[in-house]
Amino acid sequence: MAPKFAFIILAAVLPLVATQQIGTGTPEVNPSLPTWKCTTSGGCVQQDTSVVLDWGSHSIHEVNSSTSCTTGNGVNPTLCPNEATCSQNCVIEGVNYTSSGVTTSGDSMTLHQYVQNNGVTSNASPRVYLLGSNGDYEMLQLLGQELRFDVDVSTLVCGENGALYLSQMDASGGRTQYNPGGANYGSGYCDAQCPVQTWINGTLNTDSQGYCCNEMDIWEANANATALTPHPCENDTCDKSGCGFNPYAMGDQKYYGNGDTVNTLEPITVITQFYTSDNTTTGTLSEIRRLYIQNGQIIQNAVSSSGIDSITASWCSSSDSVAASLGGLTTMGEALGRGMVLVFSIWNDPGQFMSWLDSGSSGPCSSTAGNPANIESQTPGTHVTFSNIRWGDIGSTFSAGGGSGSSSSSSSSKATSTKTTTSSSRSVSTSHLTTTSSKSSTTISKSATSTTSSFGATQTHWGQCGGTGYTGPTVCASPYACKFSNQWYSQCL
Ligand SMILES: *[C@@H]1O[C@H](CO)[C@@H](O)[C@H](O)[C@H]1NC(C)=O
Ligand SMILES: *[C@@H]1O[C@H](CO)[C@@H](O)[C@H](O)[C@H]1NC(C)=O
Ligand SMILES: *[C@@H]1O[C@H](CO)[C@@H](O)[C@H](O)[C@H]1NC(C)=O
Ligand SMILES: *[C@@H]1O[C@H](CO)[C@@H](O)[C@H](O)[C@H]1NC(C)=O
Ligand SMILES: *[C@@H]1O[C@H](CO)[C@@H](O)[C@H](O)[C@H]1NC(C)=O
Ligand SMILES: *[C@@H]1O[C@H](CO)[C@@H](O)[C@H](O)[C@H]1NC(C)=O
């Protein structure tokens, strides 16, 4: 009696369309985030872009019921024995961006680490991708080009990472007949940490493989530290550490921080330039340069104790043998030339407290300051705001005076150093947020191993912890909290 009654209610909410694979319970409304493409001759042209939350932040449930098609470890084997059956049995729902920690206003987007829903604080840690107006990801081709954005890191405390980076995902997110949502529902994520996820490029990952791809970390930062890091990959091998540039680690400890040369109490304009050896957009990537603008002044990048002020191909390969073995900047440049997806995220790190970024030789934070439990209790409002995102010809996205546009600006005196350095301490970047299955072991990040290995009464990160009809664990493994997504689905985030 009761089940039948419930079914009738559900039928009213969810029209029964057997071939429908996009759920009708919650619409997917991608927040608008306009960006600009710039040329030296034509100036900047605004584009109709928006953002989409990762696939793993969306609820996937049975067509005719509230039963989730995903579990803490992957998919429900009955509903999803294979991809075709899964697509018949299951639908993916839209997501509420505000309650997931993502808000936009004009050309500005704010990502919140924690959100409050009904007075309960939970870990949102959103990761979003830039969508083009055609429903595919916007593919940024930055070889021989530059990218500019403004960022406010002032509330990002030790242990937080407000990130803007590029991943070589498929433009459609792996859209197929079985995955018609594709990029529109945030599918197809990959990065150089080779995350193990339930779906790879939109197809069911039945044997827990990692999904590796080239990653260019343009900005991983908080108010106390910043890093710029190429992570080239070849086939399924990636440079997980990367030949990165962190001013503090390179020897200038007063360059980036509260009241420093780049003052993190105030908004910062960040420009990253990808020079090729012949200055074309098809050449070999030879150097990655960084400039900042604050208060109308262009600020040259920090200079390391050995005279390095940019990431050159030779420095990358000589300081990082893994990068060298994978083709170094040449490989990174090929990916930039093909086009990469722009990713934004905010995250913290229960395993390592983000110490690779901001502690020890990398920054001024204590080794325990980044404990997410402390962040949640002391600074739950921590957030990052990215705005005014522009890319195009070198020199076309900014002008001295802090403006944006096409007025020419000499692109710095290039103090090219021929010295090599052996002293820089490579950061060991732990995994970006991934929809990681707890049975994955060696290929995933350090942060996941100790915190997600326990089965039993607690649910793991990203796993389901509630929803109508759900009978699994409802308590999340520390430090995750059970976050209400919709009536069918709550998730450990
Ligand atoms: C959903 O319910 C309808 C009506 O009972 C049925 O025809 C259809 O096969 C069901 N679909 C699935 C995937 O269970
Ligand atoms: C999304 O969630 C917020 C609370 O975080 C709520 O105020 C808002 O009404 C929701 N939006 C929709 C469309 O349900
Ligand atoms: C991802 O999926 C798309 C669409 O099916 C396909 O064209 C592309 O080759 C796939 N990419 C990889 C790396 O598997
Ligand atoms: C990657 O795969 C290609 C084609 O199979 C092969 O030629 C190449 O050697 C591989 N590279 C590495 C680093 O394994
Ligand atoms: C590329 O441009 C830089 C200045 O931006 C210049 O110094 C260099 O000579 C140019 N290289 C070539 C091969 O034209
Ligand atoms: C980190 O940055 C914040 C905000 O600027 C500052 O108050 C704090 O002193 C910094 N922490 C360290 C250890 O330098």
What are the mean pLDDT values of the chain's consecutive 10-residue runs (493 residues total)?
Answer: 34 33 86 98 97 96 93 90 93 95 98 93 97 96 98 98 98 92 96 95 91 98 98 96 97 97 98 98 98 97 96 97 97 98 98 97 97 97 98 94 43 31 32 31 28 45 64 74 66 69
* C-alpha of residue 84 to centroid of ligand 4, in Å: 31
What gap in Å lies between CA 161 and CA 33, rounded to an integer?
Answer: 21
Task: For a ligand 3 pocket test, name from 194, 201, 233 the mutation site with the most ligand atoms within 8 angstroms of its C-beta.
Answer: 201
pLDDT value of position 438: 29
Distance 334 CA to ligand 3 centre (A): 18
The overall pTM is greater than 0.85 = no
Burial of residue 279 (CB within 10 Å: 0-12, 13-18, 19+) is exposed
Read off the tokens for 461: 């990160």
Q: Classify the C-alpha dihedral 442-447-450-452 as positive or negative.
A: negative
Cβ within 8 Å of residue 361, ≥6 positions away: 248, 249, 425
Predicted local distance difference test score (pLDDT) of residue 77: 93
Report the separation in Å between the CA atom of 144 and the middle of ligand 5, taken as the mean of its atom positions: 11
Q: In 276-327, where does DSSP find H-type helix? A: 313-319, 321-325
Measured from the Cβ of residue 181, the count of other Cβ atoms closer than 10 Å reads 24
| 300, two tokens | 């040259």
How many angstroms is it from 163 CA to the middle of ligand 2?
A: 25
User: What positions carry a catalytic annotation?
Assistant: 215, 220
Ligand 1 nearest atom to the CA of residue 88, by list position: 13
Q: Environment class of residue 389 by beta-carbon count within 10 Å: exposed (0-12), middle (13-18) or buried (19+)?
A: buried
pLDDT at 29: 95
| Strand, helix or coil for residue 432 | coil
Ligand 3 atom closest to 213 (CA): 13
Return the pLDDT at 462: 61
Ramachandran assignment for 354, one of left (phi > 0), alpha (psi -120 to 50 degrees), beta (any other): left
Tell me which of 234, 237, 331 to substitute to probe ligand 4's pocket, judged by most ligand atoms within 8 Å of the beta carbon. 234
Q: Report the pLDDT value the prediction gives residue 444, as an integer from 0 to 100.
A: 27
Q: Given this model, what pLDDT does residue 411 score?
A: 34
Q: What is the pLDDT of residue 468?
A: 61
Residue 467: predicted pLDDT: 67
Atom of ligand 5 lying closest to residue 278 CA: 13
End-to-end CA distance of the chain: 35
| Residue 48, pLDDT score | 97
pLDDT of residue 464: 62
Q: Which residue has the tokens 């969508």?
A: 131
Residue 479: cis peptide before it, omega within 30 degrees of 0: yes
β strands within 232-284, DSSP E: 233-234, 237-238, 256-257, 262-263, 268-276
Instruction: Judge if the beta carbon of residue 209 lies within 6 A of ligand 3.
Output: no
Q: What is the DSSP letter of 310?
A: S
The pLDDT assigned to 493 comes to 74
Question: Among 35, 146, 105, 134, which residue's Cα sits nearest to residue 385?
Answer: 105
Quick one: how far is CA 192 from the chain centroid? 12
With the most atoms of ligand 1 within 8 angstroms of its CB, the residue from 64, 67, 69, 76 to mutate is: 64
Q: What is the pLDDT of residue 485?
A: 59
Q: What is the structure's pLDDT at 470?
A: 60
Residue where the block lists tokens 């990130």: 163
Q: Evaluate: CB of 236 within 6 angstroms of ligand 4.
A: no
Q: Of 138, 184, 177, nearest to 28 (Cα)?
A: 184
Q: What's the rounded Cα separation, in Å, for the pair 154 and 356? A: 20
The sign of the dihedral angle between the CA atoms of 395, 399, 405, 407 is negative
Give the β-pairing of 383-393 and 35-39: parallel
Cβ of 17 below 6 Å from ligand 6:
no
Strand 120-123 to 114-117 pairing: antiparallel
Residue ID of nearest Cα to ligand 2 atom 12: 96
Of 464, 453, 477, nearest to 372 by C-alpha is: 477
Position in ligand 6 atom list of the atom nearest CA 365: 13
- Ligand closest to CA 366: 6
The pLDDT score that the predictor gives to residue 461 is 62
